[in-house]
Amino acid sequence: MPEWASGDDGRHALTDSVGGDAAGPAPARTDGSSRDAAPQWADGHGADEASQSAGGGEAAARRIALDALSRAARTRGQLAALLQRKGIAPEAAEAVLDRFEEVGLIDDVGYSEAFVESRHRIRGQGGRALSAELRRRGVADDVVADAVGALDPEQEFETACRIARARYDRMPAVPAEVKLRRLAGFLARKGYSGAIVSRAVRHVIQEAAEEQEVAEAAADAFSECEVDDAAFGPG
């Protein structure tokens, strides 16, 4: 997904790549009336139909989509849902989204790859959670599978260990089996597979136990030493 500026300048830059002004120029009137004046309709229904047609066309779709993209990257599915909520005709929405894909304003593959890398590194989310989130954003299953499949299994394990250890260190003094159960539930909610959850929890519990043993052994050794105050000089 290319970078672009936000705000009006960003919208203008995006508009240039898809051709024309986002809203489209207002047509000149030839009957001598004001450009903004609403046309008169004999049956009272034509005005509503014309308004819906103008509001649901490609120009409106471009404007809405460009405005959304100027604020944040979006998937095709997210933009399609937005245009549908705004009452854009399906044919107009499809044409605009196809054009956006052609010029690179929509790139579900690049979006998914960046999403997986960022969410895994920063939020510690596992493959299952990442897959579910991308599907909620309208990304195709094969694109989701490729993006999530690019996660290195050992990196995923290390991340699971890191966030599990951080959670372990904040746990109150409860029995070991309670800590184990809470850690397993925590990692499962983060979207890690059962195999990674089991392996990471065992690693964290064992690591913490070994550190505790070392600390206790050091404390016992120190308590058995006879300290000669005179050896340290005057206090």
Evaluate whether residue 84 is within a structural domain. yes
Nearest to residue 17, comparing CAs of 89, 77, 69?
69
Predicted confidence at residue 226, as pLDDT, reads 56
The domain in which residue 144 lies consists of 107-151
Looking at residue 4, its pLDDT comes to 37
What are the CA-CA distances from residue 183 to residues 127, 157, 209 (Å)? Answer: 17, 14, 15
Instruction: Give me the pLDDT at residue 172, please.
Output: 85
Give pLDDT, residue 233. Answer: 56
In a domain, 234, yes or no: no
Report the CATH number at residue 136. 1.10.10
Tell me if 174 is assigned to some domain: yes
Whole-number Cα distances in Å, 33 to 26, 36, 82: 14, 8, 35
- Residue 157, CA distances (Å) to 102, 151, 152, 182 in order: 38, 10, 9, 18
Residue 32 region, left (φ>0) first, then alpha (ψ -120 to 50), else beta?
left
Task: Please check whether residues 89 and 156 belong to one and the same domain.
Answer: no
What is the value of pTM for the model shown?
0.67
> What's residue 117's pLDDT?
95
The number of distinct structural domains making up the chain is 3
Task: Phi first, then psi: give them for residue 218, nearest 5 degrees.
Answer: -65, -40
CA-to-CA distance for 120 and 215, rounded, in angstroms? Answer: 33
What is the reported pLDDT for 56?
A: 62
pLDDT for res 173: 85
Is 95 among the domain residues? yes
pLDDT at 211: 78
Same domain, 71 and 134: no
34 domain residue, yes or no: no
Walk along the chain (235 residues) in steps of 10 and give the mean pLDDT of each run.
41 52 42 40 38 66 97 97 96 97 97 97 96 97 97 94 94 87 96 96 90 62 57 53
Q: Residue 43's pLDDT is what?
A: 40
* Residue 232 in domain: no
Phi-psi region of 228 (alpha: psi -120 to 50; beta: other; left: phi over 0): beta
Same domain, 3 and 91: yes
Residue 45 falls inside a structural domain: no
Look at residue 214 in the predicted model and tell me its pLDDT: 58
**pLDDT at 17 (0 to 100):** 54
Q: Are residues 6 and 71 in the same domain?
A: yes
Q: How far apart are CA 185 and CA 176, in angstroms?
A: 14
